[in-house]
Amino acid sequence: MYFLSNTLHFWSVFGAIFLLATLAALFSERAGIINIAINGFMIIGATLYSYFGWAFGATSPFAQIPIFLLAALLTGVFALIFYCFAVKIKSNHIIAGIAMNTLAVTFAVVVLLTVSGYDPLSNTKRNINWKFLRDLNLSEYLTLAQDPYGFSRLLAFRSFLTVFLAFLVWFVLEKTRWGLRFKAVGENPRAADSVGVNVFATKLHACFISGVLAAFAGQIFVSAVAVSINTFYGNVSGLGFISLTLIIIGRWGVKRVVASSLIFALIYSISNTIQYVPTLQLKDYSFFLQAAPFVITLLFQVFSSFRLVASKTSKLPRIVLVKHNSFAPAAVGKHYDPNKREV
Amino acid sequence: MFKTLKNTWWAQSFQGESGQALRRQVAKFFYVIFASLIVLSIIFTIFFKVTKLSSAYSGVGFLAKLFLLFFAGYQDNGWSVGEFPKIWTFYLLIGLASALCFRSRIFNIGISGQLIVAGTVAINLLKHFEGTTQNNVTTAHFFLVLFLCCLLSSFASLLIGVLKLYFNTHEVISSIFLNWTFYYVAKHSFTVGRYAAASPTTKSVALAYTTLTNNFFGAAWLHWMLLTLAVLLALACFVLFRWTTLGFKLEAMGMSSKIERYAGFSRSRQTLLALGFSGFLVGIAAFVYYVLKEQEFRVGFGPEVKGFEAFGISLLAYNSPLGVVLTSWFFASLDVQSLWVSTATLEINSEILTLIKGTFTIFAAVATIFDRFKLFRSLKHTFLYLKADKKFLPTYFGFKKQLFLAVLRGWFQSATIFGKTLVKRPTIWKQQKKLREFTTQYLWAAQTDDAQKEQAFLAYNKMKKTVELTLTQAGYYDQRKHTQRQKLLRKTLRYELSVYKNSLLNFQGNN
């Protein structure tokens, strides 16, 4: 009975997480930085959010909004470490990303252990002010029908935030001069430099913004997913890595990336909720269903790698391989050194 | 003796221009370790201060204790002696698998998924054999399981390669998605399948206790033999990359994306070989981990976390097969010690030990910052200068002393508080003091006596001259040397003088 509302609720939660994380990764990839550290940024954002919720001891859920912004900005500052590693020190982007992920996990462990009462001889309790950190839902403040399993769950703060941020990112990246500079730097940093674009500043902006957006995704994970089990172990169960694949499926376009992440989230939420429909009796196959979004996306990738082209010599169509990577920014993953001369 | 040592191939590989990269790598390895130890000791000191726990250890003391336990801990309890070779073998093999792929620029995140595939099949099959033979599983059964582990893990790894080569799917996508797919299939088999977990909370399937008693695979010597086999595999990889054409082709693939067109070899064949071999190594590792060490399969909340530590191991060793042996020893020691040492002896939570692994990985990833840091060279040059010139050392240290003093002076000069210097202050201070004395002695006396007025003006002019003389000596009137701070000083001094002058004039006017 509640299948539809449950699915929509899941979609609003995971759609927000996937969409914001993917946009975060898109921002840095546009500027030519492969950002595997998205998962780490999400963890940092989530940890800071829980920490501030514990430290300030606020009771009104509306106090979440400044904490949301504060934790996101601090994660943006944390992302500048990644900028230092990947752009300034010029280490390999993927290796720097792995290092940042490890750093994020260790940071989360230290903070959560300090917060949740440090007990060396027993397992750590990680319950921190969940009453405050729960979903901020507008339906509680409007005179609407209160139903914990109904459609009113969709009126959460995160839904409005996600829609607003998605529109903002599209507008910035496609319509403003500053946003198009990311594209220029990602395609050809030398050409961008020759017409007066500050390449390193642009990359710094990209890193900062991707940190902020990924932090929003991590905070939504805490307020919607971790609250439901009352524990946050300092990980976001690897959802950040999926966002990297969603960019490749969306082929580095803002609208396509938004579409791909929303469609993936829809499949993800349906596969999670369809097992609870009693008439279908899918309880035993629930884990196969949960694996379905990954298999479906992989199959989509495989089948979209071909294209059938009409052949002039024979009646049968010709199979042509589509290069997915040809949609990527040309200078992605490459270091820019203004002193070096390109051949 | 040293001459004969110098002529061996491994010593020669360190010498000359060609050995420079190797020397740099080894030096960087030590710099990474020292830097991370310094950072760790700072972090632990702060952590213990903040939590106000285990005050017995400062940061450095904690690390010293930890490193003593690295060697002493094996004697203290029998458990870690038995577990250590298994964990080392596991880390060594997955680190080697990851290093192999990194060398040919393939990013194999699928190690976790391959572990799950092999582990699921191994535990399920062994449970089945336990049922059929009434808990008397023979050695042949174990060998069959090991073979299947390697085979299936290789297939899982090759699947990534096939998707990459023939379906244009990036290996990062396919390996992440296959990890999750394999994880859910394993979860299904251990919660709904034939050999489901006893309780839904633990979600783990354990082998019967009898499987590993009185058996070939339960013997301790075999675990050490397996470790030796793993080290031999690492040696084989070293030989492969150093002396064989195949190894060079694998490495060349990482150098450029189109290199096979110039060199004339098949890229797909090399990719599949690298991925297949790394899958084979992961298969053995899965057998060691799930069947010999854990003897159960724990279904967590996602793909096996242990599989992701392979990147840290291979990164710390710069993807060198022999380096992986050392770094995996380090990781394994941390793992063995963490369980009992952390709680009982060091009074810290075992999860804090992830900090140590994390810090080492971070510094290994950014090891390029040590490229221009040449400690040994500067030491060597000092030694050579000393050898050539006996007077070098005194002059050297004399120079150092001068440099140190100059730096100190510069620091004092730069430490200005609201425009007032710390060093130059006394000279100006004296003048100001004299001015004050002048006012008290002459001006107040001149209030009553007209004769002293002239004396007062004369004294004022004299004072002005001396002040300006000191200022010129100090370089305050030299326009070329002026800094903002000096200008400010001059302004303030002039202002002070003018104040005194005005007070004199006012005094005149009043009379």
Model confidence pLDDT, tens digit, residues B390-411: 665 666 566 556 666 666 655 5
- Per-residue pLDDT of B137-155, as tens digits, reads 788 888 899 999 999 999 9
Cβ within 8 Å, pair A98-B167:
no
Instruction: Tell whether A342 lies on the interface with B, counting CB pairs under 8 A.
Output: no
Please determine, for residue A123, whether its predicted confidence score (pLDDT) is greater than 50.
no
Which residues 387-406 of B are in CB contact (within 8 Å) with A?
A: none
Instruction: Tell whether B451 lies on the interface with A, counting CB pairs under 8 A.
Output: no
Give me the pLDDT at residue A326, please.
65
DSSP letters for A205-223: HHHHHHHHHHHHHHHHHII
Distance CA(A215)–CA(A21), nearest Å, equals 8
Give me the pLDDT at residue B470, please.
64
Please determine, for residue B328, whether its predicted confidence score (pLDDT) is greater than 70.
yes
- Which residue in chain B has the smallest CA separation from A320? B167
Give me the pLDDT at residue B419, please.
40
Give this complex's ipTM.
0.83
Please determine, for residue A283, whether its predicted confidence score (pLDDT) is greater than 90.
no
pLDDT band, residue B422 (cuts 50/70/90): very low
Give the single-character DSSP code of B369.
G
Give me the pLDDT at residue A39, please.
92
Question: Pick from A238, A291, A325: which is nearest to B170 by CB?
Answer: A325
Instruction: Tell whether B169 lies on the interface with A, counting CB pairs under 8 A.
Output: yes
Chain B residues touching A322 at Cβ < 8 A:
168
Residue among A134, A135, A140 nearest A152 (CA) = A140
For chain B, the first-to-last Cα distance in angstroms comes to 102
Interface test with A, best of B169, B179, B268, B373 (most A CBs within 10 A): B169
> What are the CA-CA distances from residue A30 to residues A195, A256, B125, B217, B405 (Å)?
18, 14, 48, 53, 50
Distance CA(B199)–CA(A69), nearest Å, equals 42
- Which residue in chain A has the smallest CA separation from B160? A298
- Per-residue pLDDT of A78-104, as tens digits, reads 999 999 989 988 888 888 888 888 889
Cβ within 8 Å, pair B169-A294:
no
Distance CA(A213)–CA(A164), nearest Å, equals 12
What are A122's two structure tokens? Answer: 């027993």
Chain B residues touching A294 at Cβ < 8 A:
177-178, 180-181
Which residues 304-323 of A are in CB contact (within 8 Å) with B?
A: 305, 321-323
Cβ within 8 Å, pair B168-A324:
yes
- Per-residue pLDDT of B479-488, as tens digits, reads 555 565 556 6
Query: The tokens 């242990």 sit on which residue?
Result: B306
- Give me the phi and psi of B296, to 5 degrees please: -160, 170
* Residue B509 or residue B187, greater confidence: B187
| Reported pTM | 0.76
Cβ within 8 Å, pair B358-A291:
no
Instruction: Tell whether A148 lies on the interface with B, counting CB pairs under 8 A.
Output: no
Give me the pLDDT at residue B364, please.
82
Residues B101-116, mean pLDDT to the nearest whole number: 90
Give me the amino acid identity at B133.
Answer: T
> What are the CA-CA distances from residue A192 to residues A180, A186, A199, A325, A331 (Å)?
11, 9, 7, 22, 12
Distance CA(A185)–CA(B262), nearest Å, equals 30
Question: Pick from A118, A295, A325: which is nearest to B51 by CB?
Answer: A118
Cβ within 8 Å, pair A295-B181:
yes
- Which residue in chain A has the smallest CA separation from B360? A99
pLDDT band, residue B423 (cuts 50/70/90): very low
Distance CA(B206)–CA(B297), nearest Å, equals 7
Question: Pick from A98, A102, A322: which is nearest to B168 by CB?
Answer: A322
Instruction: Tell whether B163 lies on the interface with A, counting CB pairs under 8 A.
Output: yes
Question: Pick from B301, B352, B366: which is nearest to A99 by CB?
Answer: B366
Distance CA(A147)–CA(B400), nearest Å, equals 77
Query: CA of A34 to nearest chain B CA: how many angstroms apart?
Result: 12
- Which residue in chain B has the smallest CA separation from A304? B167
Question: Pick from B342, B362, B369: which is nearest to A102 by CB?
Answer: B362
What are B421's two structure tokens? Answer: 């210097």
Residue among A140, A234, A166, A210 nearest A16 (CA) = A166
Instruction: Tell whether B161 lies on the interface with A, counting CB pairs under 8 A.
Output: no
Query: CA of B116 to nearest chain A CA: how many angstroms apart?
Result: 14
Question: Pick from A120, A249, A287: which is nearest to B349 by CB?
Answer: A120
Give me the pLDDT at residue B231, please.
95
Chain A residues touching B107 at Cβ < 8 A:
94
Give me the pLDDT at residue B456, please.
67
What percent of chain B stands above pLDDT 90? 18
Give me the pLDDT at residue A199, please.
93
Interface test with A, best of B46, B163, B173 (most A CBs within 10 A): B173
Query: CA of A193 to nearest chain B CA: how many angstroms apart?
Result: 25
Chain B residues touching A91 at Cβ < 8 A:
365-368
What are A286's two structure tokens? Answer: 């629930």
pLDDT band, residue B113 (cuts 50/70/90): very high
pLDDT band, residue B420 (cuts 50/70/90): very low
* Residue A84 or residue A136, greater confidence: A84
Cβ within 8 Å, pair A291-B184:
yes
pLDDT band, residue B451 (cuts 50/70/90): low
Instruction: Tell whether B64 lies on the interface with A, counting CB pairs under 8 A.
Output: no
Give me the pLDDT at residue B84, please.
82
Please determine, for residue B412, whether its predicted confidence score (pLDDT) is greater than 70.
no
Query: CA of B283 to nearest chain A CA: how many angstroms apart?
Result: 23
Please determine, for residue A26, whether its predicted confidence score (pLDDT) is greater than 90.
yes
Query: CA of A283 to nearest chain B CA: how many angstroms apart?
Result: 10
Chain A residues touching B181 at Cβ < 8 A:
291, 294-295, 298
Instruction: Tell whether B338 lies on the interface with A, counting CB pairs under 8 A.
Output: no
- Give me the phi and psi of B375, to 5 degrees please: -70, -45
Decide: helix, strand or coil at residue B317: coil
Instruction: Tell whether B180 lies on the interface with A, counting CB pairs under 8 A.
Output: yes
Instruction: Tell whether B354 lies on the interface with A, counting CB pairs under 8 A.
Output: yes
Give me the pLDDT at residue A148, please.
64
Instruction: Tell whether A114 lies on the interface with B, counting CB pairs under 8 A.
Output: yes
Cβ within 8 Å, pair A291-B107:
no
Is residue A152 within 8 A of residue A146, CB to CB? The reply is yes
Cβ within 8 Å, pair B365-A96:
yes
Please determine, for residue A44, whether its predicted confidence score (pLDDT) is greater than 80.
yes
Instruction: Tell whether A25 lies on the interface with B, counting CB pairs under 8 A.
Output: no
Residues B284-305, mean pLDDT to the nearest whole number: 85
Residues A46-61, mean pLDDT to the nearest whole number: 77
- When the pLDDT of each residue in chain A is averaged and rounded to a whole number, the result is 83
Alpha helices by DSSP H, B245-290 = 245-255, 259-263, 267-286
